[in-house]
């Protein structure tokens, strides 16, 4: 969608006069034509540049002033609400006798406070959207200016933006305060009590975790939605909120020669481990958590678990090098006696195993992940825990390629928590474009998650990414010359994850007037910096996108634009209300990319990932470069496959029946809206995409049972052939030969297919066509029919039935 149209559809009516005048700035860049509309425009002069910069400065000052005033207004409202909540709670505590009338008054006060806080939450949401839209508008207009005029304004205007940083407001402080107040009001002054730091002290974690990507445009909205159901988890409620308290840094270890931990975690092999060192807050924090995550397959009956213990920062190097023993590391813990002997022994065993693996496997620091985490959880209650990681960044920690990044230390010291780490070279840092939402549930067997959690994860605000890993993504991105096996999401990074609203879900004011996010677009259009009609028409009555003409004065154009914006806003709300009432409307996440393709009819070619074909092509290219003797056989095989595919494709094009629309088929209507499109993701040259494949022991047993079934059938046919050979005449001899050939072919075929399937299962290959026997059984039936027909033919000929 073009930004001008997006701005008109997404603006908030109460803020209308304070938005960037994007259309006016765009018109200011258009100079009159010299010789008609098909000729060139007048040249851009210094006076034009000065006038444009002055107009741009005025718009920046307007946006900055309003944002600053609105932010101060929200702060004042929060302080007033905080005082009112405190007064109501004190009245409740001072109430001596149970009086029904007093209880009703308190309940009414709590209702009013909840409505007031909901309105403040909506204001925070609107201000965040206002800021994001205007910042995008300034970036767009500067890009358009530099492109059309040839003058570079971006660097100098970046300095002006830093002087008036309306877009750098951190809403986390608002969110923490509002979360505390809303939790007090929602629980009527009796919030859930418990140890807020219980999650930080817990040694072993067993949870059901699902991960999602969140676009930067939806982060604040998502936080505000969650805080209305779960409070922000604050470890020290008596301490003023500080951004660095939410910073989390982790150093991941691996063997830079074999990358065994990376491949184990990527392939999800049984017992695959990830070893990392984590600390919370700044670099001055002396408490380091040494963690080991172990993957367990479902068929083992065990759950994947994360276990950890603490070390002082000064002891980390000595411990990992084996110079400090486990007993020395836990001597102080034994003296203090705060933990039981059994707990200490379990921690010592864990530390002994990690130390042994680091030394024997020659594990080194390879990658660091940094992010700010906002956790939502009831204190002391881990049944539902939601965390949102923003500003996620991966940094290289290795000493490869002749560069000493961490040296002999367990982490590099030239960076801290100074995001976005602008001092690092581009090849050492990967700034992840999305936030990562983790929904962690501890529910009983058969118990459904809360309804609001299901609504959240099915909304347009998130994109499901099962098994996403910061460690895997960081290593795959930062080590392109060392890593050749990529995660399945790697090729989807350039796909826009924003989706249209499919059902009413979001921040609503008490009067049920929804304030929707800017992702509510109309919405199969492509975003572009070019607006329609640029350089095409001129004249006094040229209609603008807002319905006005260039003959109108500025005030008239603004009023018409405002009316059109209000009309668009009402139309969007009416449409969403109709969709909300439609029983057939599907939630936004009900058909993600993998699920849409899984719902399609299976063919030989409709796969998401073409990793195997790329591998064969890479093998051919490698043989050509190395001048190996394998080149010509591979080339011949390649041409034969191409010819076979062409013949098969032509055969499939022959119309044999009338295709009927299928649910989820290509060209069918997507319940979310529009048509389903299958996307093919290609692995980069020299790389392979690893598609997650679940392998359980029963898969091996199924392959073995299939082989035994073929073997049994081959033995029966062989027995029939031996019987005919020993007890028959000449006709029986011919029949015996036929049955022997069919039995031998079936036996050889079953052995080859069994071997290939076992190899693919071991390698966790996701090629459906090679697990599905499409031609084997048909060929066996045809061979058996031919052998039987030969027997009948010879018998009929010998007996002379038709003579």
Give 674: exposed, middle or buried? Use CB within 10 Å, 0-12, 13-18, 19+: exposed
Greatest alpha-carbon pair distance for the chain in Å reads: 118
pLDDT value of position 96: 63
- Is residue 129 among the annotated active site residues? no
- Residue 653: pLDDT band by 50, 70, 90 thresholds? low
427 & 329 share domain: yes
* Domain-embedded: residue 512: yes
**Encoding tokens for residue 486?**
């990529």
Look up the domain containing 686 and give its range: 593-639+664-690
pLDDT value of position 793: 78
Rounded Cα–Cα distance for residues 312 and 195 (Å) = 24
686 & 701 share domain: no
464 & 518 share domain: no
Average confidence (pLDDT) over 149-157: 86
pLDDT value of position 254: 94
Flag whether pLDDT at 603 surpasses 60.
no
pLDDT tens per residue, range 776-795 = 888 888 888 888 887 787 77
Task: For residue 388, give the CATH number of its domain.
Answer: 3.20.100.30
* Domain-embedded: residue 191: no
The half-sphere exposure of 178 on its side-chain side, counting CA atoms within 13 A, is: 30
Average confidence (pLDDT) over 170-188: 84
616 & 729 share domain: no
366 & 268 share domain: yes
pLDDT tens per residue, range 109-119 = 888 888 888 88
- Residue 621: pLDDT band by 50, 70, 90 thresholds? low
User: Which run of H or of E encompasses 292?
Assistant: strand 287-294
Average confidence (pLDDT) over 262-278: 88
Flag whether pLDDT at 95 surpasses 80.
no
Rounded Cα–Cα distance for residues 616 and 609 (Å) = 14
Lookup result for tokens 């027995």 = 719
* Domain-embedded: residue 754: yes
256 & 368 share domain: yes
- What would the DSSP string read from start to end of 722-742? HHHHHH--HHHHHHHHHHHHH
Spot the catalytic one: 144, 223, 470, 499: 470
Average confidence (pLDDT) over 255-270: 89
* Domain-embedded: residue 37: yes
381 within 8 A of 192, measured Cβ to Cβ: yes
pLDDT tens per residue, range 759-779 = 877 776 655 556 677 778 888
324 & 250 share domain: yes
259 within 8 A of 482, measured Cβ to Cβ: yes
83 & 62 share domain: yes
Instruction: Provide the pairing of β-strand 381-396 with 435-441.
Output: antiparallel
pLDDT value of position 451: 85
pLDDT tens per residue, range 400-458 = 988 889 888 999 998 988 888 988 999 999 999 999 999 888 766 556 778 888 888 88
285 & 429 share domain: yes
> Which residues, including other chains, have CB under 8 Å from residue 561's CB and lie 6 or more apart?
8, 23, 546, 547, 548
Rounded Cα–Cα distance for residues 137 and 63 (Å) = 11
- Among candidate residues 303, 327, 307, the one with its CA nearest the CA of residue 315: 327
430 & 509 share domain: no
pLDDT value of position 604: 37
pLDDT tens per residue, range 530-587 = 443 333 333 333 333 334 444 444 444 444 444 454 445 444 444 444 444 443 333 4
Q: How many domains does the chain have?
A: 4
Domain final position from 492, 519, 552: 492
pLDDT tens per residue, range 219-243 = 888 998 898 888 888 766 666 667 7
Number of H helices, E strands in the chain: 23, 13
Average confidence (pLDDT) over 7-28: 85
* Domain-embedded: residue 252: yes
- What would the DSSP string read from start to end of 593-617? HHHHHHTSPP-SS--SB-HHHHHHH
Rounded Cα–Cα distance for residues 430 and 475 (Å) = 10
Average confidence (pLDDT) over 124-132: 88
* 299-313, 682-696, 738-752: range with lowest mean pLDDT: 682-696
pLDDT value of position 552: 46
* Domain-embedded: residue 194: no
The half-sphere exposure of 515 on its side-chain side, counting CA atoms within 13 A, is: 28
* Domain-embedded: residue 552: no
81 within 8 A of 120, measured Cβ to Cβ: yes
* 9-13, 55-59, 231-235, 568-572: range with lowest mean pLDDT: 568-572
> Which residues, including other chains, have CB under 8 Å from residue 419's CB and lie 6 or more apart?
370, 372, 391, 393
163 & 219 share domain: no
Lookup result for tokens 């864990």 = 350
* Domain-embedded: residue 575: no
470 & 328 share domain: yes
Rounded Cα–Cα distance for residues 565 and 12 (Å) = 9
- Residue 323: pLDDT band by 50, 70, 90 thresholds? very high
Flag whether pLDDT at 377 surpasses 60.
yes
Rounded Cα–Cα distance for residues 445 and 719 (Å) = 52
């Amino acid at each position: 969608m073009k930004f001008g149209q997006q701005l008109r559809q997404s603006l908030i009516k109460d803020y209308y006069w304070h938005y960037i005048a994007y259309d006016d700035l765009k018109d200011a860049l258009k100079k009159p034509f010299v010789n008609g509309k098909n000729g060139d425009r007048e040249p851009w002069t210094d006076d034009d540049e000065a006038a444009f910069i002055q107009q741009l400065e005025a718009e920046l000052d307007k946006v900055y002033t309003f944002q600053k005033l609105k932010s101060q207004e929200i702060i004042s409202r929060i302080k007033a609400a905080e005082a009112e909540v405190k007064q109501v709670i004190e009245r409740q505590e001072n109430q001596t006798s149970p009086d029904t009338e007093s209880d009703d008054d308190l309940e009414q006060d709590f209702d009013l406070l909840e409505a007031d806080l909901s309105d403040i939450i909506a204001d925070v949401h609107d201000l965040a959207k206002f800021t994001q839209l205007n910042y995008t508008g300034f970036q767009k207009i500067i890009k358009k200016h530099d492109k059309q005029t040839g003058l570079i304004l971006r660097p100098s205007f970046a300095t002006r933006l830093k002087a008036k940083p309306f877009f750098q407001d951190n809403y986390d402080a608002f969110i923490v305060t509002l979360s505390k107040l809303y939790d007090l009001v929602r629980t009527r002054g009796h919030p859930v009590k418990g140890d807020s730091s219980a999650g930080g002290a817990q040694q072993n974690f067993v949870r059901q975790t699902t991960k999602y990507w969140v676009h930067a445009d939806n982060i604040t909205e998502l936080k505000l939605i969650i805080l209305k159901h779960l409070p922000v988890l604050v470890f020290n409620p008596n301490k003023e909120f500080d951004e660095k308290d939410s910073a989390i840094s982790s150093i991941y270890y691996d063997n830079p020669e074999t990358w065994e931990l990376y491949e184990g975690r990527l392939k999800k092999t049984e017992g695959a481990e990830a070893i990392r060192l984590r600390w919370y807050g700044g670099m001055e924090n002396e408490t380091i958590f040494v963690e080991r995550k172990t993957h367990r397959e479902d068929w083992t009956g065990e759950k994947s678990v994360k276990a950890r213990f603490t070390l002082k920062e000064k002891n980390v190097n000595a411990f990992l090098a084996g110079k400090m023993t486990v007993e020395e590391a836990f001597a102080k813990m034994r003296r203090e006696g705060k933990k039981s002997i059994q707990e200490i022994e379990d921690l010592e065993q864990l530390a002994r195993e990690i130390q042994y693996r680091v030394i024997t496997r020659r594990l080194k620091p390879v990658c660091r992940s940094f992010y700010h985490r906002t956790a939502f959880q009831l204190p002391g209650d881990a049944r539902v825990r939601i965390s949102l990681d923003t500003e996620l960044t991966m940094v290289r920690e290795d000493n490869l390629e002749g560069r000493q990044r961490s040296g002999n230390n367990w982490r590099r010291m030239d960076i801290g928590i100074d995001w976005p780490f602008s001092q690092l070279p581009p090849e050492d840092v990967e700034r992840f474009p999305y936030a990562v939402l983790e929904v962690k549930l501890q529910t009983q067997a058969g118990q459904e998650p809360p309804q609001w959690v299901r609504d959240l994860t099915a909304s347009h605000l998130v994109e499901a990414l099962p098994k996403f890993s910061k460690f895997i993504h960081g290593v795959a991105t930062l080590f392109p010359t060392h890593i050749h096996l990529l995660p399945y999401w790697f090729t989807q990074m350039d796909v826009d994850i924003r989706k249209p609203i499919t059902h009413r879900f979001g921040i609503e004011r008490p009067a049920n007037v929804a304030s929707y996010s800017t992702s509510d677009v109309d919405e199969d259009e492509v975003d572009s910096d070019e607006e329609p009609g640029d350089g095409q028409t001129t004249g006094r009555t040229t209609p603008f996108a807002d319905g006005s003409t260039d003959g109108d004065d500025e005030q008239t154009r603004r009023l018409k634009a405002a009316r059109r914006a209000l009309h668009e806003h009402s139309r969007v709300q009416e449409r969403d209300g109709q969709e909300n009432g439609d029983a057939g409307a599907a939630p936004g996440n009900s058909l993600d990319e993998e699920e849409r393709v899984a719902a399609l009819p299976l063919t030989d070619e409709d796969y998401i990932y073409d990793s195997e074909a790329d591998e064969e092509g890479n093998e051919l290219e490698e043989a050509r470069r190395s001048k190996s003797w394998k080149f010509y056989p591979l080339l011949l095989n390649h041409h034969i496959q191409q010819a076979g595919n062409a013949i098969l494709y032509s055969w499939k094009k022959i119309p044999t029946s009338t295709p009927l629309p299928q649910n989820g088929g290509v060209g069918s209507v997507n319940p979310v809206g529009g048509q389903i499109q299958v996307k093919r993701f290609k692995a980069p040259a020299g790389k392979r995409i690893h598609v997650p494949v679940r392998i359980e022991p029963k898969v091996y047993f199924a392959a073995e049972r299939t082989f035994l079934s073929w073997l049994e059938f081959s033995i029966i046919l062989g027995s029939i052939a031996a019987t005919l050979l020993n007890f028959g005449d000449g006709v029986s001899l011919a029949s015996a030969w036929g049955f022997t050939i069919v039995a031998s072919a079936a036996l050889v075929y079953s052995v080859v297919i069994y071997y290939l399937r076992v190899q693919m299962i071991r390698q966790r290959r996701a090629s459906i066509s090679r697990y599905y026997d499409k031609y084997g059984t048909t060929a066996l039936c045809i061979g058996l029919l031919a052998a039987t027909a030969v027997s009948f033919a010879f018998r009929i000929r010998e007996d002379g039935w038709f003579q």
